[in-house]
């Protein structure tokens, strides 16, 4: 095999509007499926898993144990980010996205047929953890791949709003999962929910998996991947040794040198900080608060799920508007506004939730969810793709997302459950929201403005 026929650097491979629509639908659907799975599991962990899989312990300890099974998936997500991220940078985005959606969907469906603790004892939570690990392994590169693919397809001046379709996918998945749980809580008795009703949302994901796989069989590869100066005529990225040999033969040696000697590290840590706030706030608002409202405040379980449901509907306007603002004013200023407002509102809105009023609780959760989670995610979808060079974009983006998830989303609910149990107060939740938001604020301040950056460039933005 020879690698002499390199694509001219910067010569973007053309794609039609129809190709873009297919990628947009694929990215939206795959991300919707990932976040539906995520939210299905999150709500199940908060609402029923403590009774189904950990019934013989104190309710507070059961909630912590259920949050722990939710958190272990993030370890597998990191492994998936490394494995599939490298594969995506090496052989292309399309092939990896086909594998991740199949693995993720199959694992989620099988959770719906698991035996319970009452049926098989300790084997039940062990099997739950195994499937959660498999689910996480596939999900570790799904959203990073969808984000990379869509950003690399999007027109430069509309990249933010087009890439926000990935965020709309997260919102669609959250809405679908929350709606399913809200329906179950409304129509089923407690006994029906715990005996068989909790299985239905997981089994439903099988239908979406089949449709998503069908869509992805009709995609074309990312035009940026095919335009890379380090990709051979066979469509595979060159190794370092092959790059050095190619650089000695081609007049485009300066481009290949950028791939060999690009500055590494700074862009990754900026991206990690940007991810940290959104991921941490998501874990607290969409996962922990749901369980806290039901088990600690002793309010109706449907209150929190309904609030997230309404918030997800509002998010269909929030996400594209934030994407448009990022295209118009730049990524950094919009990040700064969202994080500052989120930090300022954290304590007063958590105090309102604590009061137990249905209206105040719903409005507070809608504001927190849209500002501190959905708005930040809309920006994150495009900003992180623009920060990284084409040669390692998939890998670095996936790692930044998953390491941020482990540090913030997986640990956050466990830490919040522990702190609220120890203090007997709600203030640790608000304090954690402030800290997460400020970490992202600092990251936005030190980040370069990357709006409109050429995604074919092999080196990182900083």
* DSSP line for 149-215: HHHHHS-GGGHHHHHHHHHHHHHHHHHHHHHHHHHHHHHS-HHHHHHTGGGHHHHHHHHHHHHHHHH
* Lowest mean per-residue pLDDT among 84-88, 212-216, 329-333, 341-345: 212-216
Q: What sign does the CA torsion over 387, 400, 265, 236 have? A: negative
Question: How far apart (Å, rounded) are the C-alpha atoms in residues 278 and 374?
Answer: 8
Asked if residues 364 and 347 have their Cβ atoms less than 8 Å apart, the reply is no
pLDDT of the residue at 2: 37
- pLDDT tens column, 170-208: 778 877 887 888 888 888 888 888 888 888 888 888 888
Q: Domain 17-446 class?
A: mainly alpha
The structural domains of the chain, with segments of one domain joined by +, span: 17-446
Nearest CA-CA partner of 278 in 443, 390, 150 = 443
For residue 1, the model assigns a pLDDT of: 36
Q: What pLDDT, on the 0 to 100 scale, is given for residue 369? A: 94
Residue 251 DSSP class: T
Percent of the chain whose predicted confidence (pLDDT) is above 90: 32
**CA–CA separation, 67 and 45 (whole Å):** 6
Q: What average pLDDT does the segment 366-379 reach?
A: 94
pLDDT digits (tens, 9 = 90+) for 433-446: 999 999 999 999 99
CA 342 to chain centre: 19
The runs of H, that is alpha helices, within 283-391 are 289-295, 301-329, 331-355, 358-369, 375-387
Q: How confident is the model at residue 248 (pLDDT cuts 50, 70, 90)?
A: low
- pTM for this predicted structure: 0.80
Residue 4 has pLDDT above 50, yes or no: no
The listed range with the strongest mean pLDDT (18-22, 371-375, 403-407) is 371-375
The mean pLDDT value of the chain amounts to 84
Q: Who wins on pLDDT, 100 or 35?
A: 100
Q: Quick: pLDDT tens for 8-46.
A: 344 456 677 888 888 988 888 888 888 788 778 777 877
């Amino acid at each position: 095999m020879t690698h002499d026929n390199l694509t001219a650097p910067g010569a973007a491979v053309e794609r039609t509007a129809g190709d873009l629509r297919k990628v947009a639908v694929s990215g939206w659907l795959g991300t919707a499926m990932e976040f539906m799975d995520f939210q299905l599991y999150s709500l199940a962990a908060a609402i029923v898993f403590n009774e189904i899989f950990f019934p013989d312990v104190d309710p507070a300890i059961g909630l912590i144990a259920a949050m722990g099974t939710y958190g272990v998936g993030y370890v597998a997500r990191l492994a998936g980010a490394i494995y599939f991220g490298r594969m995506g940078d090496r052989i292309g985005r399309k092939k990896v996205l086909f594998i991740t959606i199949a693995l993720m969907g199959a694992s989620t469906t099988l959770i719906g047929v698991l035996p319970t603790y009452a049926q098989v004892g300790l084997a039940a939570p062990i099997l739950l953890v195994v499937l959660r690990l498999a689910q996480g392994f596939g999900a570790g590169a799904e959203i990073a791949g969808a984000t990379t693919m869509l950003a690399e397809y999007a027109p430069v001046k509309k990249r933010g709003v087009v890439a926000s379709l990935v965020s709309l996918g997260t919102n669609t998945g959250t809405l679908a999962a929350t709606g399913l749980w809200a329906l179950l809580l409304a129509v089923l008795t407690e006994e029906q929910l715990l005996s068989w009703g909790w299985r239905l949302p997981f089994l439903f994901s099988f239908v979406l998996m089949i449709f998503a796989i069908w869509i992805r069989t009709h995609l074309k590869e990312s035009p940026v991947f095919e335009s890379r100066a380090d990709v051979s005529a066979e469509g595979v990225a060159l190794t370092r040794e092959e790059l050095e040999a190619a650089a000695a033969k081609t007049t485009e040696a300066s481009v290949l040198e950028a791939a060999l000697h690009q500055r590494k590290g700074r862009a990754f840590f900026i991206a990690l900080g940007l991810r940290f706030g959104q991921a941490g706030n998501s874990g607290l608002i969409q996962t922990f608060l749901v369980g806290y409202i039901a088990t600690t405040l002793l309010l109706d379980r449907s209150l929190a799920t309904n609030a997230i449901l309404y918030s997800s509907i509002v998010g269909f306007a929030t996400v594209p508007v934030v994407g448009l603002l990022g295209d118009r004013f730049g990524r950094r200023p919009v990040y700064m506004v969202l994080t500052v407002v989120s930090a300022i509102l954290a304590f007063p809105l958590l105090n309102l939730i604590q009061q137990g009023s249905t209206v105040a609780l719903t409005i507070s959760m809608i504001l927190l969810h849209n500002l501190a989670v959905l708005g930040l995610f809309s920006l994150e979808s495009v900003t992180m793709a623009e920060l990284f060079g084409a040669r390692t974009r998939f890998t670095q983006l996936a790692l930044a997302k998953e390491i941020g998830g482990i540090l913030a989303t997986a640990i956050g609910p466990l830490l919040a459950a522990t702190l609220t149990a120890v203090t007997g107060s709600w203030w640790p939740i608000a304090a954690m929201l402030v800290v997460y938001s400020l970490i992202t604020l600092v990251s936005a301040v030190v980040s370069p403005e990357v709006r409109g950056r050429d995604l074919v460039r092999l080196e990182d933005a900083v």
